[in-house]
Amino acid sequence: MKKMLLLIAMISLIAMSLFSQGSEDSAAPAAPVASATEAGTPGAPIKLRALIGSWNTMAATVEDRKDFYEKQLLAWAERHPDVYVEIEGIPGGTTAQAMTKLITAALAGNPHDFANIDSQWVGNFHEAGVLSPIDAYLDDADKTQFFDFTKMVTMREGRQYGLWAETGLLLYYWNENISPEPPAVWEDVFALNDKLKKSESDMIPFLTIAKGASAAFAFLPFYWAQDAILFDPADNFRPVFGEGRNREAMIKTLNFYRDLLAAGAMPPEIISYEHNEVAAEAKAGNAASFIGGSWLLGQLNVEDWGYGSLPMYKEGVESNIYGGWTFGFLAKDERKLEASVNFVKEVYTDKEAMSERLPLHGYIPVRKDVLSSEGFNTPFYNEIFKQLEVGRARPATSLYPDVEVLVEVAIGKIVAGETDTAKLVDQMFADVSAAYNDR
């Protein structure tokens, strides 16, 4: 009897084992998911943590953008069933807090594997030593099709640590009813001022943005056009704008602002103007010309307004400045690093992804093969292509924000009546040099 019971028990155990194995074999694999907080196959062997601007995820509030990201994420997940990504969003208006948190976590040994990084902050990550080189995971197009200015930020000592996702730049807008030909050099701006005065017009000849970080953003193309630099990348980004021809260029650019204000060609109200404010003045018919972001064209009546290169100190010179967001890579594990790069490329920065994604946002592409493709063959994008070859990115150093603040302060002092621009430059340089020495 005992032998019979033992045999029955053994048969039962074998049957249960076979049933269990059959259940496991017949269970469907986990389906790919895509949302504002995750993408990929749950339970996949490679798990990534990402920090991405909420506007660049399925948390986007515009429906066609949300649909695009859902399509991209699901297609990526189908191609990479061995990867799952947890996504943490960066809310709008929290850039400084998010970037600080990202660096702090990385230095503490708990980094995200990849992250959206404001291009202005990439220098901080280079200096912290938390980024990983990604050259091994880039193809020829990744290395040749991105505009050169992107590499001024994403590369350090010959190695690449990030991918630039999108950009914005400056354009000079002029009312063609007032000035059929654009003021090309500084003298032309003063000539426009004289023309409006003679006609007894109340229209403002020239406006620029001079509030907050926008002050330096609009100021620096004039400075760079004089073959000047702020920091020396070959000398650990030592500040040099107070030395030699760099100092002369800084003084000359401040003098341009000073003289515009003195002539009445530019109003003191510029210190309260950012991009939307100058566009509002133009729309209201109060401005004959202005400098503002490339994205402002959609706010204007294009039949009245021309757009193009910023007026420079002499003929034959062009300059611009570029903002925007990059993706940086912090993973140290090679499998995670490769998977992170593939995710960013396939969802955001490959030619096909960038071509479809950026028009949905109104962003400017940073790849030559995108801007030269059929879908971007328009007068606007042809002008943008030209502008992307003549400017620079903001320097990849943690001291750049110091310069931003000091430029805004210097312009404010000129508006308040300061005329000794050399003294302003020397004080700016002393302040940034002290910060460099204390760093």
Q: pLDDT tens, 412-421?
A: 999 999 999 9
Same domain, 306 and 404: yes
Q: What CATH number is attached to the domain comprising 346? A: 3.40.190.10
Same domain, 133 and 218: no
Same domain, 185 and 287: yes
Could you give the CA distance from residue 65 to residue 34 in angstroms, rounded to a whole number? 14
Is residue 25 scored above 90 in pLDDT? no
Task: Give domain status of residue 146, yes or no.
Answer: yes
Instruction: Say if residues 388 and 322 touch (Cβ distance below 8 Å).
Output: yes
Task: Give domain status of residue 19, yes or no.
Answer: no
- Average pLDDT, integer, range 221-248: 97
Is residue 22 scored above 50 in pLDDT? no
Could you give the CA distance from residue 265 to residue 261 in angstroms, rounded to a whole number? 6
As a dihedral over the C-alpha atoms of residue 66, residue 100, residue 86, residue 150, rounded to 10 degrees, the angle is 60
Percent of the residues in the chain that have a pLDDT greater than 90, as a whole number: 91
Task: Give domain status of residue 406, yes or no.
Answer: yes
Count how many domains the chain has: 2
Task: Give domain status of residue 23, yes or no.
Answer: no
The one-letter amino acid at 139? D
Q: pLDDT tens, 310-361?
A: 999 999 999 999 999 999 999 999 999 999 999 999 999 999 999 999 999 9
Rg, C-alpha atoms of the chain: 27
Helix (H) or strand (E) holding 170: strand 170-175
Identify the pLDDT of residue 301.
86
Identify the pLDDT of residue 3.
46
Identify the pLDDT of residue 251.
98
- Average pLDDT, integer, range 245-249: 98
Instruction: Say if residues 392 and 225 touch (Cβ distance below 8 Å).
Output: no
Instruction: Say if residues 247 and 264 touch (Cβ distance below 8 Å).
Output: no
Average pLDDT, whole number, for the chain?
Answer: 93
Instruction: Say if residues 393 and 220 touch (Cβ distance below 8 Å).
Output: no
Same domain, 178 and 226: yes
Q: Is 45 helix (H, G, I), strand (E, B) or coil?
A: coil
- Unique residue bearing structure tokens 């034959």: 316
Same domain, 314 and 342: no
Task: Give domain status of residue 84, yes or no.
Answer: yes
Is residue 108 scored above 90 in pLDDT? yes
Task: Give domain status of residue 368, yes or no.
Answer: yes
Is residue 178 scored above 60 in pLDDT? yes
Q: pLDDT tens, 304-318?
A: 999 999 999 999 999
Could you give the CA distance from residue 325 to residue 53 in angstroms, rounded to a whole number? 9
Task: Give domain status of residue 28, yes or no.
Answer: no
CB atoms within 10 A of CB 389: 12
CB atoms within 10 A of CB 284: 8
Could you give the CA distance from residue 365 to residue 222 in angstroms, rounded to a whole number? 24
Buried b (16+ CB within 10 A) or exposed e, 209-219: bbbebbbbbbb
Instruction: Say if residues 30 and 43 touch (Cβ distance below 8 Å).
Output: yes
Helix (H) or strand (E) holding 306: strand 305-308
Instruction: Say if residues 155 and 329 touch (Cβ distance below 8 Å).
Output: no
CA distances from 399 to 114, 368, 438, 439 (A): 24, 30, 11, 9
Identify the pLDDT of residue 14.
42
Same domain, 158 and 283: no
List beta partners, residue 83. Answer: 46
Is residue 107 scored above 60 in pLDDT? yes
CB atoms within 10 A of CB 373: 16
CB atoms within 10 A of CB 394: 27
Last residue of a domain, one of 387, 407, 429: 387
Identify the pLDDT of residue 8.
43
Same domain, 239 and 93: no
CA angle centred on 301, ends 297 and 264, rounded to 5° = 80
Could you give the CA distance from residue 298 to residue 246 in angstroms, rounded to a whole number? 36
Q: Identify the band that residue 261 occupies on the pLDDT scale cut at 50, 70 and 90.
A: very high
CB atoms within 10 A of CB 192: 22
**All residues at 6 or more sequence positions from 325 whose CB lies less than 8 Å from its CB, including other chains:** 53, 56, 116, 117, 118, 119, 164, 165, 166
Identify the pLDDT of residue 247.
98
Same domain, 237 and 342: no
The one-letter amino acid at 221? P
Instruction: Say if residues 52 and 40 touch (Cβ distance below 8 Å).
Output: no
CB atoms within 10 A of CB 52: 25
Q: pLDDT tens, 398-407?
A: 999 999 999 9
Q: Identify the band that residue 1 occupies on the pLDDT scale cut at 50, 70 and 90.
A: very low
Task: Give domain status of residue 342, yes or no.
Answer: yes
Same domain, 198 and 158: no
Could you give the CA distance from residue 136 to residue 334 in angstroms, rounded to a whole number? 10
Same domain, 231 and 297: yes
Identify the pLDDT of residue 28.
56
- Average pLDDT, integer, range 148-174: 97
Same domain, 353 and 287: no
- Average pLDDT, integer, range 105-132: 96
**All residues at 6 or more sequence positions from 263 whose CB lies less than 8 Å from its CB, including other chains:** 190, 193
Identify the pLDDT of residue 21.
47
pTM of the model: 0.90
Same domain, 161 and 299: no
More confident residue, 2 or 308: 308
Go through the chain and tell me how many residues it has.
439
Q: Identify the band that residue 29 occupies on the pLDDT scale cut at 50, 70 and 90.
A: low
- Unique residue bearing structure tokens 């620096």: 220
290 Cα distance to chain centroid? 22
- Average pLDDT, integer, range 278-287: 95
Q: pLDDT tens, 67-79?
A: 999 999 999 999 9
Instruction: Say if residues 135 and 351 touch (Cβ distance below 8 Å).
Output: no
Identify the pLDDT of residue 30.
82
Name the residue range of residue 378's domain.
33-166+323-387
Percent of the residues in the chain that have a pLDDT greater than 70, as a whole number: 93
**All residues at 6 or more sequence positions from 405 whose CB lies less than 8 Å from its CB, including other chains:** none
